[in-house]
Structure 1
Amino acid sequence: MSNPFHEREFFDEHIDWISSHIDQHFPNAETTVFHEMFAPDFKVHVYFIKPANATYNILLTEGMSTLAMNVSDNIENKDDYKFAELMMLIPKDIEFDDVYTPESKNGYIITMLKETARFPHHYNTWIGEGHSIVSSAEMEPYSPETRFVGGVILPSVTFGEDVMCIRREGGVINIYSFFPVYEDEVRYKIDHGYQGFLQLLIDNDAKEILDNNRPSLVG
């Protein structure tokens, strides 16, 4: 059976945009890449960036933006939202095996990003700020190592637009913060909407850096 993604238009120049963007904003960081050697659809690589003077490290996808998302017609300036990548801040003490697999050390963290990056392209839709994603219809955790079942796409509170938006002649790539959530938090967001979820974050002084052991924000 042929791969339907082979018939899609790929924007491979975005790979160079992302690499240059990282070099510009994190010039002294130790950076490695978890390469995806084979993919049945399209490749999603993940940069592991270690800024020297920060209290966090960074995971950033590369590959989600090589395909355009199907942005809703009711979105103003919809072309500005066609391309996106995902970022997650993680504690300094989290490390990974040299080669990523879902079962590898802390692999569930990378899995959350990879699965979310693929979601809009597999379902011919789009994701942007305020959208929520779940691992499955049954809201199963991403792995036995975590209770996270999904994530909410948020603006970053750590970085400004200069870091979270790549602009080049002919295109825009938005970088969104991925905030992992538990099942009760997903249901709270569904019931109370994006603004209600933002207020929940504020009320709990929630941090942008991943904490796999944090208590539920719902209480």
Structure 2
Amino acid sequence: MKFLARFPHEYHTWLGVGHTIPNGEEAAPFADTTKLGCLLLLPSLSLPEAFRELKISEEKTINFHCLYFIYREEMNLKMEKGVDALIDKFEEFGISDVLDVDRPNTMKKKGFMGLW
């Protein structure tokens, strides 16, 4: 979390909905118990829309987002086809914003030699 808070300042950029951040150059897994090695910033898919923002005043609104831990292959899909393609995969596989280090990689093929 500290890394993400510093990221915009250190790299003179910003973070917004749909941005992906790999864990280092090689998108190394975040822990020995998983292969998840990237982050995706999105609104919560599991909470009602009413929880996505807090209007403080006419001039100020706070938006709440979630960090989704994703696989390198999922990040590649997002980079190639856009965040909507990855969200479609999340819906197909029932992926939520609740961290599951053992969740399936939505880009891994199953079956005989990965053909299906």
Query: TM-score if structure 2 supplies the norm length?
Result: 0.78
| Matched residue, 1:124 | 12
> Deviation of residue 166 (structure 1)?
2.4
Task: Work out whether 1:138 is the aligned partner of 2:26.
Answer: yes
Task: Work out whether 1:202 is the aligned partner of 2:91.
Answer: yes
| Matched residue, 1:186 | 75
Q: Which has the larger radius of gyration?
A: 1
Change (3 A) 1:115 1:148: farther
> Deviation of residue 216 (structure 1)?
0.6
Change (3 A) 1:160 1:120: farther
Structure 2's unaligned 5+ residue stretches are 109-116
- In structure 1, what is the Cα distance between the partners aligned to 2:10 and 2:33? 26
- In structure 1, what is the Cα distance between the partners aligned to 2:33 and 2:3? 17
- In structure 1, what is the Cα distance between the partners aligned to 2:45 and 2:82? 20
> Deviation of residue 132 (structure 1)?
1.0
Task: Work out whether 1:114 is the aligned partner of 2:7.
Answer: no
| Matched residue, 1:174 | 63
Change (3 A) 1:122 1:148: same
Structure 1's unaligned 5+ residue stretches are 1-112
Query: TM-score if structure 1 supplies the norm length?
Result: 0.44
| Matched residue, 1:72 | none
> Deviation of residue 143 (structure 1)?
3.0
> Deviation of residue 194 (structure 1)?
1.0
Give me the identity figure in percent: 28
Q: How many residues align?
A: 107
- In structure 1, what is the Cα distance between the partners aligned to 2:87 and 2:39? 13
Between Structure 1 and Structure 2, the one with more strand by share is: 1
> Deviation of residue 178 (structure 1)?
1.0
Per-residue CA deviation, residues 133-185 of structure 1 (Å, 9 max, x unaligned), is: 11112211223243221111112122234322122134222111111011111
Give the aligned residue type for 1:149.
Answer: G
